[in-house]
Amino acid sequence: MDWGDWLSWFDARDADLAREVLQRGIAALFLVAFLSTLNQFRPLLGERGLLPVPELLEAVRGAEQRARDREERAGRPVGFLRRTRRLGYLGPTVFRRWGYSDAKLVAVCATGTVLAASVVVGLPQLGPPWVPMLVFLALWALYLSIVSVGQTFYGFGWEMLLCEAGFLVAFLGSREVPPPLPTIVLVWWLVFRLEFGAGMIKIRGGREWRDLTALMYHHETQPMPGPLSRRAHLLPAWFHRLEVLGNHAAQLVVPFLLFAPQPIRTIAAAVIIATQLWLVVTGNFAWLNWITIVLAFGAVGDEAVQWLLPWLPLEAIQTPADATSPPWWITIVLAVAVLIVWLSRHPLMNLFSKRQLMNASFDRFMLVNAYGAFGTVTKERVEIIVEGTVDDPRDRDAEWREYGFKGKPGDPARVPRQFAPYHLRLDWLMWFLPLGRLHEVWFLRFLEKLLEADAATLRLLAHDPFDGERPRAVRARTELFTFATREEHRRTGHVWMRHPLGTAIPPIALGEVDTR
C-alpha cells in the first residue's frame, strides 16, 4: 500500500458543495460583521465613544504594570499568561501593539471587507489551498482584534462563533484539492456543540422549557422581535408546545445524527436548517441563525443534493477526479485537527457539567468555545423609554419627547423590522438594561451624548425628536410592552400596547451625569 492509498480517507469526495457553502457563507457573514463594525464601532467604542477603546488599553497597561510591580516587590515573577488571566486578560488584538485610533479601525474594517468580498465571489478558491487559508486566517485575526476590545458591545455568543468558524474554514482548501475530511468533521463537532449546548442550557435552565410553555412568551419578550413575531406569538398554545418539543428534538437528539452515515447526516442537517429558518422569520438574532445554517451545510452530501435537486450544476464546483492533497497540506490540516481536539476537552466537559457555562471561551484565540442561549425566558417585556425636553424639567407641564431606536420597540404602531443578519448592538443592549443594572457606564454616557446632541451617537437612532438641537434634560422611564391582541389591533391599529411603570432615571441635565 503506497502513501496515497493509506491517506485515501483524508479526502471527503462528497463534500464539494459543503465546502463551497461554508467558505462563501462564512465570508458573507464576515462581510456583514465588518460593515456592522464600520457603521457602529466609532460611536460605541471609538475615541469619543461610550466605552472608548483607548481608555480600555490604558487601563490594561496600568493593571499589568501594577502586577509587575507587585511581583518585583514579592520577588516572585509570574508568567505573562498567568498574570493576564488574573487581570481578566485582554484578548489578542492588533490595537494592543499599534494603539487604537478611529482611522486604524476603519483600515481594519476596510481590509476585512475586501478580503471577505473576495471569497464571496470565489476568487481565492481558484488558487492553491494556501490562498483561501491565508485569507480566512486574516479575517479571523482582524475580527478577533475587534472582538477583543469590543467589551460589552461585542460580548455576544455569535462573535466568538464567527471567530471559531472563520478559523476552521481556513483549512477547507481550494478547488485544487479535495475537501479535507478532518476539517469537515470538526465543522460537525462545532455544530454539535452549538446545538447540543443550547439544548442542555434550556433543559437545565428555566422551568418553562421543561413544561413546554417557553415559546408562549419568547416571541413577545425576545430581544428584538421581527415582522412576524407578533403573528407567531398569537398562535395557539398547542402550537407553542409543539415548537418547544421540536426545539428539544432538534437540539438534543438530532446533533448526534451529524456523525451518522449518509443520507442520515444530510437529513439531520436539513432538520437543523429548517428550525433555524423558523427562528430567522420570527426574530432578529444577528447572524446567529444564519451562521448555524451555513455550518449545518457541512453535513450535507453532494449525492443527496444531486438526488434531491438533479438540475443543480454541481460539476461547476467539483474537485477534479484526479486531484490529490499534497503532503504539506495534509500535515497542516492534521496538525490543526489535533490542536482543535486538544482544545475541545474543556468545552466537552462543560456540555455535561451541572454548572454549564453559556457562551464562554476557554482559550485566548476563541478557537473552541462553549455556546448556548435563552436558558431562561423572560415572561414580561419591560422597555427603557428615553426622552428629552427643551422645557424646564421641573415643570409638571414640560413636554417630553421620545427618542426612537432602529430595532428596539417604541412606536406602538410600527411593525418590527427585519435587520438580521445585521447586528444593532445598541438596541440589543437596551433590552438587557431592565434585566440587570440600569446605571451601566455605557448607558449613562449615552444619555450624556444625547444631552450634547452628539451627531455620531444620534446616527445610531432612528429618530431624534430635536432635529440635532440639544435638549435641556433627558430621562429614562420603564414601560411594559405587550403584543396587541387581534381585538386590540382592530380597535387601535397598534402592534404594541404600552403600559407605563415608572421612572428609571430622573431628569438630568448636561454636567449632572456621573459616569465614574
Q: Which of 317, 336, 370 is the last residue of a domain?
A: 370
Is residue 396 domain-shared with residue 360, that is, in the same domain?
A: no
Chain position carrying cell 449615552: 446
Is residue 348 domain-shared with residue 315, that is, in the same domain?
A: yes
| Burial 345-379, CB ≥16 within 10 A → b, else e | ebbeebbeeeebbbbbbbeebbbbbbbbbbbebbe
Q: List 387's β-bridge partners, or say none.
A: 402, 475
Is residue 224 domain-shared with residue 350, that is, in the same domain?
A: yes
Which pLDDT score is estimated for 353?
A: 87
Is residue 340 domain-shared with residue 473, that is, in the same domain?
A: no
Is residue 271 domain-shared with residue 351, that is, in the same domain?
A: yes
Say if 2 falls within a structural domain: no
> What confidence tens digit (pLDDT) does each residue in 78-120 have?
554 444 444 446 889 999 989 999 999 999 999 999 999 999 9
In order, the DSSP letters of 356-413 are --SSEESSTT-SSEE----SS--SSEEEEEEEEESS-TT-TTPPPEE-EESSS--STT
d(CA 194, CA 200): 10
Say if 196 falls within a structural domain: yes
Is residue 331 domain-shared with residue 414, that is, in the same domain?
A: no
> What confidence tens digit (pLDDT) does each residue in 422-459 have?
999 999 999 999 998 888 999 999 999 999 999 999 99
> What confidence tens digit (pLDDT) does each residue in 272-328 have?
999 999 999 999 999 999 999 999 999 999 888 888 888 878 777 788 888 889 999
Q: Tell me what the mean pLDDT of segment 495-513 comes to.
A: 95
Residue 468, pLDDT > 70, answer yes
Residue 373, pLDDT > 90, answer no
**Greater model confidence, 498 or 84:** 498
**Residue 272 domain boundaries:** 154-370
d(CA 191, CA 255): 7
Is residue 254 domain-shared with residue 402, that is, in the same domain?
A: no
Percent of the chain with pLDDT over 70: 96
d(CA 142, CA 167): 11
Say if 123 falls within a structural domain: no
Is residue 346 domain-shared with residue 310, that is, in the same domain?
A: yes
Say if 127 falls within a structural domain: no
Is residue 366 domain-shared with residue 385, that is, in the same domain?
A: no
Q: Tell me what the mean pLDDT of segment 394-407 comes to.
A: 96
Residue 243, pLDDT > 90, answer yes
Taking a C-beta distance cutoff of 8 angstroms, is the pair 195, 189 a contact? no
Which pLDDT score is estimated for 309?
A: 80
Is residue 263 domain-shared with residue 365, that is, in the same domain?
A: yes
Say if 464 falls within a structural domain: yes
- Mean per-residue pLDDT of the chain: 93
Q: Tell me what the mean pLDDT of segment 51-68 comes to.
A: 89
Which pLDDT score is estimated for 80?
A: 46
Which pLDDT score is estimated for 154?
A: 97
Residues in the chain: 516
Q: Which of 370, 392, 419 is the last residue of a domain?
A: 370
Say if 9 falls within a structural domain: no
Is residue 315 domain-shared with residue 294, that is, in the same domain?
A: yes
Say if 364 falls within a structural domain: yes
Is residue 364 domain-shared with residue 246, that is, in the same domain?
A: yes
Cα-to-chain-centroid distance, residue 273: 17
Number of domain units in the chain:
2
Q: How many CB atoms lie within 10 A of CB 413?
A: 10
> What confidence tens digit (pLDDT) does each residue in 161-195 have?
999 999 999 999 999 999 999 999 999 999 999 99
d(CA 507, CA 504): 10
CA-to-CA separations, 408 to 225, 300, 380, 496, 504, in angstroms, rounded: 8, 36, 15, 12, 17
Which pLDDT score is estimated for 1?
A: 43
Taking a C-beta distance cutoff of 8 angstroms, is the pair 458, 464 a contact? yes
Q: How many CB atoms lie within 10 A of CB 285?
A: 25
End-to-end CA, the chain: 70
Taking a C-beta distance cutoff of 8 angstroms, is the pair 283, 230 a contact? no
> What confidence tens digit (pLDDT) does each residue in 10-55 have?
988 899 999 999 999 999 999 999 999 999 999 999 999 999 999 9
Say if 393 falls within a structural domain: yes
Residue 57, pLDDT > 80, answer yes
Residue 252, pLDDT > 80, answer yes
Split at pLDDT 50, 70, 90, the class of 6 is low
Q: Tell me what the mean pLDDT of segment 205-221 comes to.
A: 96
Q: Tell me what the mean pLDDT of segment 363-391 comes to.
A: 94
> What confidence tens digit (pLDDT) does each residue in 318-357 have?
888 888 899 999 999 999 999 999 999 999 999 988 888 8
Which pLDDT score is estimated for 316?
A: 76
Residue 63, pLDDT > 90, answer no
Q: Which of 348, 370, 392 is the last residue of a domain?
A: 370
CA angle 169, 425, 87 (to 5 degrees): 75
